[in-house]
Structure 1
Amino acid sequence: MARPGQRASWSDRLKLRRWDFWTGFTLFMYAFLLVVVVYPLCALLISSLYDKQGDFTFANYWDFLRLKYYRNALLNSFKLSSLSALFALLIGVPLAYVSVRTDIRGKGALNILVIMSLLSPPFIGAYSWIMMLGNNGFLKRILHAAGIPFTSIYGPKGIVFVLALQFYPHIYLYVSGALRMIDTSLEEAAESLGVPAWKRIWTITLPLILPTLSAGTLMVFMESFADFGTPLLLGQGYKVMPVLAYDQFISEMGSNPAMASTVSGLMIVCATLILFIQRFVSTRRNYAMTGMRTPTIRSLPPAVRRLVTALAFVPAGISIIPQATVAVTSFIETKGPVFQRGFSMGSYAEIWYRVKQAIMNTYSFSLLAIAAMIVLGVLTAYVLVRRKSRITAMLDGLIMVPYVIPGTVLGISFILAFNKPPLLLTGTWIILVLAYVTRKMSYTIRSSSGILQQLDKSVEEASISLGVPPVPTFFKTTLVLMLPGVLSGAIISWVAVINELSTTIVLYHGATATIAVSVYSEVVTSNYGTGAALATILSVTALLSLLIANRLSGRKLML
Structure 2
Amino acid sequence: MQAKLEPQAAATVIRQRLLLRKWDFWTFVMVIVYLFMAAFIVYPLVSLLFNSFMGKDGGLTLENYLSFFKLKYYHQALLNSFIVSGLATVLAILIGLPLAYIATRYDIKFKGLMQMMVIMSLFSPPFIGAYSWILLMGNNGFITRFIRDLGISVPSIYGWHGIVIVFALQFYPHIFLYVSGALKTIDTSLEEASESLGMTAWNRLRTITLPLIFPTLSAGALMVFMASFADFGTPMLLGQGYKVLPILAYEQFISEMGGNPAMASTLSVIMIFFSTVILFGQRYFVSRKNYSMSGMRTPVVKKLKPLPKVLMTILAFIPACISILPQLTVLITSFLAKSGPVFHRGFSLDSYKEVFFRVPKAILNTYSYSVLSIIMMVVAGMLIAYLLVRRKSKFTALIDSIIMIPYIMPGTVLGISLIIAFNKPPIVLTGTWIILVIAYVVRKIPYTIRSSTAILHQLDRSVEEASISLGVPPMKTFFKTTGRLMAPGVISGAILSWITTINELSSTLVLYYGATATISVTIYSEVFTSNYGTGAALASILTLTTLLSLIIASRLSGGKGLSL
After TM superposition, is the score higher than 0.5? yes
Number of the residue aligned with 1:157: 161
Q: Answer whether contact 1:488 1:548 (CA < 8 A) is retained.
A: no
Give the SS at the match of 2:22: coil
Query: For the residues of structure 2 that align with 1:26 and 1:557, how far apart are their CA atoms?
Result: 31
- The one-letter amino acid of 1:349's match is K
Deviations 1:95-124 (A, max 9, x none): 000100112111111101101111100000
Q: Give the CA deviation at 1:438.
A: 0.5
Equivalent residues of 2:121, 2:324 under 8 A apart:
yes
SS of equivalent to 2:23: coil
Equivalent AA in structure 1 for residue 234 of structure 2:
T
For 2:521 and 2:124, the matched residues in 1 are separated by 15
The equivalent residue for 1:184 is: 188
Give how far 1:15 is off.
Answer: 7.8
What is aligned with 1:477?
481
Equivalent of 1:232 in 231, 236, 248: 236
Q: Who is 2:29 aligned against?
A: 25
Match of 2:206 in 1: 202
CA distance in 1, matches of 2:180, 2:140: 39
Q: Deviations over 1:230-250 (max 9, x none)?
A: 000000000000000001001
Structure 2 matches for 1:517-556, cutoff 5 A? Answer: 517-555=521-559
Structure 2 match to 1:368: 372
CA distance 1:401–1:347, shift in 2 (3 Å): same
Do structure 1's residue 135 and structure 2's residue 121 form an aligned pair? no
Which of residues 343, 347, 362 in structure 2 aligns to 1:358?
Answer: 362
Is 1:52–1:256's contact at 8 Å kept on the other side of the alignment? no
Deviation of residue 489 (structure 1)? Answer: 1.9
Does 1:123 find its partner at 2:127? yes
Partner SS state of residue 105, structure 1: coil
Contact conserved, 2:553 with 2:561, CA < 8 A, in 1? no
SS in 1 for 2:338: strand
Q: What is the TM-score of this pair, normalised by structure 2?
A: 0.95
Query: Which amino acid counterpart does residue 496 of structure 1 have in structure 2?
Result: T
Q: Which amino acid aligns with 2:26?
A: W
Q: How does 1:45-84 map to 2 (within 5 A)?
A: 45-84=49-88
For residue 463 of structure 1, report the CA deviation from its aligned partner. Answer: 1.9
SS in 1 for 2:157: coil
CA distance in 2, matches of 1:426, 1:254: 17
Query: Is the alpha carbon distance of 1:15 and 1:280 closer, same or farther for their aligned partners in structure 2, counting shifts above 3 Å?
Result: farther
1:257 corresponds to which of 250, 253, 261? 261
In structure 2, what residue type is equivalent to 1:188?
Answer: E
With normalisation by structure 1, the TM-score equals 0.96
Q: How far apart are 1:332 and its partner, in Å?
A: 0.5
- Where does residue 328 of structure 1 map in the other structure? 332
CA drift of 1:556 comes to: 5.7
Superposition deviation, residue 442 in structure 1? 0.8
Q: Is the 8 A contact 1:411 1:435 kept in 2?
A: yes
Offset, 1:299? 2.4
Tell me which amino acid in the other structure corresponds to 1:547. Answer: I
Long gaps (5+) in structure 1: 1-13
Q: Within 1, Cα distance between the matches of 2:71 and 2:341?
A: 39
The aligned counterpart of 1:272 is 276
Residue of structure 1 in register with 2:395 after alignment = 391
CA drift of 1:488 comes to 3.2
Distance 1:194 1:16 in 2: 69
How far did residue 475 of structure 1 move?
1.0
1:337 shift after superposition: 2.0
Query: Separation in 2 of the partners of 1:15 and 1:139?
Result: 71
2:476 and 2:438 mapped to 1: Cα distance?
Answer: 28
1:462 equivalenced with 2:469 (yes/no): no
SS in 1 for 2:75: helix
1:17 and 1:201 map into 2 onto residues whose CA distance is 58
Distance 1:283 1:46 in 2: 34
Q: CA deviation at 1:295?
A: 0.5
Tell me the CA shift for residue 288 of structure 1. 1.0
Q: Does 1:41 align with 2:50?
A: no
1:365–1:433 contact (8 Å) kept in structure 2: yes
Specify the alignment match of 2:221 in structure 1: 217
2:3 — aligned with what? none
Counterpart-to-counterpart distance in 2, 1:501 and 1:87: 24
Instruction: Summarize deviations over 1:496-553 as a string: whole Å, max 9, x none.
Output: 0000000000000000000000000000000000000000000000001111111221
Moved more, 442-451 or 456-465: 456-465
CA distance in 2, matches of 1:353, 1:219: 39
* DSSP-derived class of the 1:98 partner: helix
Comparing 333-342 and 124-133, the one that deviates more: 333-342
Secondary structure in 2 matching 1:339: strand
The amino acid of 1:305's aligned partner reads: K
Q: Separation in 1 of the partners of 2:57 and 2:531?
A: 41
Q: What SS is found at the alignment partner of 1:153?
A: coil
Q: How many residue pairs were aligned?
A: 545
Report the identity percentage.
65
Classify the secondary structure of the residue corresponding to 2:101.
helix
- Contact 1:92–1:168 (Cα < 8 Å) also in 2: yes
Q: SS at the partner of 1:82?
A: helix
Pairwise CA RMSD = 1.4
Aligned counterparts of 1:90 and 1:147: Cα–Cα separation in 2: 31
Do structure 1's residue 511 and structure 2's residue 524 form an aligned pair?
A: no
Q: Which moved more, 1:544-553 or 1:496-505?
A: 544-553
Letter aligned with residue 201 of structure 1: L
Alpha carbons 2:97, 2:175 under 8 Å: kept: yes
| Aligned residue in 1 for 2:118 | 114
How far 1:139 sits from its partner (Å)?
0.6
Confirm or deny: 8 A CA contact 1:431 1:507 kept in the other structure. yes
Q: Out of 286, 300, 322, which is 1:318 matched to?
A: 322
Over 3 Å off, 4+ runs: 14-17
Please show how residues 416-427 of structure 1 align to structure 2 within 5 Å. 416-427=420-431
SS, match of residue 337 in structure 2: strand
What is the deviation of 1:342? 1.2
Which one is further off, 328-337 or 71-80?
328-337
Q: Which residue of 1 aligns with 2:497?
A: 493
